[in-house]
A = this chain, B = another copy of it.
Amino acid sequence: MPHSVSYGPTLPTSQAISSLRPLPAHAVRLSADGLLGGWQIRNADATLPHCISRLHTQGNLDNLRRVTGDFAGDFAGMWFADTDVYKTLEAALWERARSGGSSAFVADTAQLLEKAQDFDGYLNSYYQVDHRDRQWAELPSSHEMYTAGHLIQAAVAAARSASDTPAVQQILTVARRFADLLVRRFGTGGVDALDGHPEVETALVELYRVTGHRPYLDLAARFVGLRGHGLLGPDSRFRQRHYYQDHQPVRDATEVTGHVVRQVYLAAGAVDVAVETGDSALLNAAERLWESAIAAKTYLTGGQGSRHRDEAFGAPYELPPDRAYAETCAAIGGFHWAWRLLLATGRSRYADEMERLLYNGIAASTALDGTAFFYSNPLQLRTGHDGDDEDAPGRRLSWYSCACCPPNLARLMASLHTYTATGDPGGLQVHLYAPGTVTAGGHTIEVATAYPWEETVTISVTETTEAPWTLTLRVPAWCADAQLTVNGEPVDTAVRHQGYLGLTRTWLPGDRVELVLAMPPRLLAAHHRVDAVRGSVALTRGPLVYCLEQADLPGELDGIVLEDLELDARGPIGVITGAHPIAPVMLLTPVRAQSSADDELYLPLDAATPAATPPTAMPAIPYFLWANRAAGAMRVWIPLAPQDR
């Protein structure tokens, strides 16, 4: 059953509704000197080993050894701690497929899982030892199917690794036995039930794609269809049905709501079901939900989740930067959702969103060294922030008691190259720009660029068939001025299809395409309904959101706190390369300090306007690089001087 060619996550069948086709995983190689390729190396060298090490030290693997009788201690961590094992396993499998080599962790874990699994296929170290009596009895909170889903996704990675080691077979067998149990118990004619946390839907569709076994797809479709009918119980104090997205059938929903990770995982699963079952109404619903998120419930970084309470979406336009939850796993789930919609529809706005998430909401989660992580990703940290809650951080932590995010990052980064381009017999589509090579269908292109730091992307054809084919290039929505030449000849960039430029010709080795995506610094304002950032602007350049950090406060403003700065919108913004200890490209921001720090909290509007210092310049750095120096205040949204608003 394992493929003979490796693939990445999400591989729609040939019957699926699909505009774009994923390439084999080995078709894309990202260079280590690019940002994306560098992240893959860092993931392999630091994040993934760190995750594996933590599975040992935090007790996740011992939890499974309790089931096999090989460990006598207590259960450790969250009741869904097995998922950290599965996500790390999935990451290790993607990484092994990407870079080769073997992994003792994969082999050992596969054996352990095989040994721990019940005869009937059940596997969950929390319920198998101490809580047998509650097995399947508390689905709204048990995460049993959510956990099964991550096991299945590891098996999908195994099956797509073009490897046929015993471990690959073991993982697949274990996952299928669990999936078969789910089908028997919850499939057509079985119990009408749902897991409180979606995840298994997308996993089951992927397992169907790997195995061709239709009952997996049917079960996923059943779960998507059962949601929204109150199976998770009535509303109660502090826990409403919309928390689980169980308030309304998925195909009727018009607005993202509730717990963000649940919502985006569910939506991704709904897209998978929709494309494989040809259910265009469901696909439309998923697109409509996505639009509702982008229109009023998404941070400038792509982050989602405005409330710490319930890790939830807020009301439309409720987007406080300081209390942004913007969970790392939500950003990863949003990336998966957008990728599925991109494959289904071919619309560049989904790739735009993947890019925004990747360089901002996702990238910010990981420290420079790859071994410390944010769980939530606020857009502002105040001076005086208490900073100690695990999920309201002033700094990245090396691990979490709820450690969902680090291994989720590891599995995304290990497979990142598979999201950058797609292809079909008609040509290649490049979605995310990074130095490296793409080979498919007899064509090879070489991408040279310092994107996102620099504007130019150079694509050289190094190998090609003799027939004409189309090289398709995304023009990001943030770019107001795209210039294109082929072998030095300008090409009109005004004609685009769904946000893409298409170059159809008979290519020759040595052909050279140069795309220049102008990246002037931009000042963005939010919709007037976003009360939380009224009168403020955010700095962006290319796909990157910038921020101010207390550590960069210029000497002239010594003693000032970040909250007292305002941006002088009339001043020029400089683009500076290479002069900053953290940021390869920083922006030089014209700021002034207001000097009414000791004023009363509320004063008459006509009270004297506070004096401001003379303008000076302050570095703004890419948001994703914040909190890599001394702890201190940070902000993405910068107040404008009153006269500039």
Question: What residues of chain B lie closer than 8 Å to A296, measured between beta carbons?
Answer: 601
Q: Are A315 and B322 in contact (CB under 8 A)?
A: yes
State the interface size on chain A (CB cutoff 8 A). Answer: 75
Question: What residues of chain B lie closer than 8 Å to A317, measured between beta carbons?
Answer: 382, 563
Within 8 A of B (CB), among A371-400: 380, 382-386, 388-392
Q: Are B316 and A384 in contact (CB under 8 A)?
A: yes
Within 8 A of B (CB), among A532-561: 532-538
Within 8 A of B (CB), among A495-551: 522-538
Closest partner residue, chain B, to A235 (CB atom): B388
Instruction: Tell me the interface secondary structure of chain A in the complex.
Output: loop
Question: What residues of chain B lie closer than 8 Å to A322, measured between beta carbons?
Answer: 314-315, 318, 531
Interface string of A303-327 (1 = CB under 8 A from B): 0000111000011111011110000
Q: How far is the CB of A524 from chain B (nearest CB, A)?
A: 5
Closest partner residue, chain B, to A534 (CB atom): B535
- Give the complex CA separation of A309 and B401 in angstroms: 18
- Return the contact of A240 from the options B383, B388, B596, B642 (Cβ within 8 A): B388
- Give the complex CA separation of A610 and B527 in angstroms: 10
Q: Are B382 and A316 in contact (CB under 8 A)?
A: yes
Closest partner residue, chain B, to A536 (CB atom): B534
Asked whether A599 is an interface residue with its Cβ less than 8 Å from the other chain, the reply is yes
Question: What residues of chain B lie closer than 8 Å to A300, measured between beta carbons?
Answer: 602
Q: Are B533 and A382 in contact (CB under 8 A)?
A: no
Asked whether A119 is an interface residue with its Cβ less than 8 Å from the other chain, the reply is no
Q: Are A315 and B569 in contact (CB under 8 A)?
A: no
Given contacts A308-B307, A642-B645, contact A527 B257 (CB under 8 A): no
Q: How far is the CB of A441 from chain B (nearest CB, A)?
A: 37
- Give the complex CA separation of A639 and B385 in angstroms: 27
Q: How far is the CB of A237 from chain B (nearest CB, A)?
A: 5
Asked whether A54 is an interface residue with its Cβ less than 8 Å from the other chain, the reply is no
Asked whether A180 is an interface residue with its Cβ less than 8 Å from the other chain, the reply is no
Question: What residues of chain B lie closer than 8 Å to A386, measured between beta carbons?
Answer: 240, 242, 257, 315
Q: Are A603 and B525 in contact (CB under 8 A)?
A: yes
Which residue numbers of A lie inside 8 Å of B, CB to CB?
235, 237-238, 240, 242, 255, 257, 294-296, 298, 300, 307-309, 314-318, 320-323, 380, 382-386, 388-392, 401-402, 522-538, 563-564, 566, 569, 594, 596-597, 599-607, 610, 637, 639, 642, 645
